């Protein structure tokens, strides 16, 4: 892991812990650490959590991550999932959308979800 990835991971852990303490996100410490590790190598762009884990009245559910980046969608999603699974066996869904080429269907999806932005 590079120095840049270590610093980014540390920032992400702090953000995730603050969200967890405030009740905006339901992840335990191990899930947060695995998510920070996975996200630390993701190309720059907006990162957000959505779905049941950011809705305090819901229970269970997988971890849903939204990445708005111009990096290749499939490769980015797979790389992040592999890094996450190397640290945690919880189910994760990674949605990658290129903000420069958003389709009407993708925009509709973005308009309908509640998201908690990380970066």
For residue 107, pLDDT over 70 is answered with yes
CATH class in words for 3-117: alpha beta
User: Looking at residues 40-46, what average pLDDT do you find?
Assistant: 85
Please provide the average confidence, as pLDDT, over all residues in the chain.
91
| Spans of all domains in the chain | 3-117
Alpha-carbon distance of 10 to 32, in angstroms, equals: 11
> What was the pLDDT predicted at 1?
67
For residue 67, pLDDT over 90 is answered with yes
Determine phi and psi for 50, rounding to 5 degrees: -150, 180
User: Looking at residues 75-103, what average pLDDT do you find?
Assistant: 95
> Which of 92, 88, 45 minimizes the C-alpha distance to 70?
45
User: Looking at residues 9-23, what average pLDDT do you find?
Assistant: 89
Place of tokens 């905006």: 24
Contact of 46 with 99, CB cutoff 8 Å = yes
Question: For residue 101, what is the DSSP state?
Answer: S
């Amino acid at each position: 892991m590079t120095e840049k990835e270590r610093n980014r991971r540390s920032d992400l852990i702090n953000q995730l812990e603050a969200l967890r303490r405030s009740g905006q996100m339901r992840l335990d410490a191990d899930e947060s650490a695995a998510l920070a590790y996975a996200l630390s190598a993701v190309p720059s762009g907006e990162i957000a959590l959505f779905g049941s884990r950011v809705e305090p009245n819901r229970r269970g559910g997988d971890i849903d991550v939204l990445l708005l980046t111009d990096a290749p969608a499939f490769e980015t999603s797979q790389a992040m999932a592999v890094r996450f699974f190397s640290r945690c066996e919880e189910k994760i869904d990674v949605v990658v959308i290129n903000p420069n080429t958003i389709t009407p269907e993708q925009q509709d999806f973005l308009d309908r979800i509640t998201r908690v932005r990380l970066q």
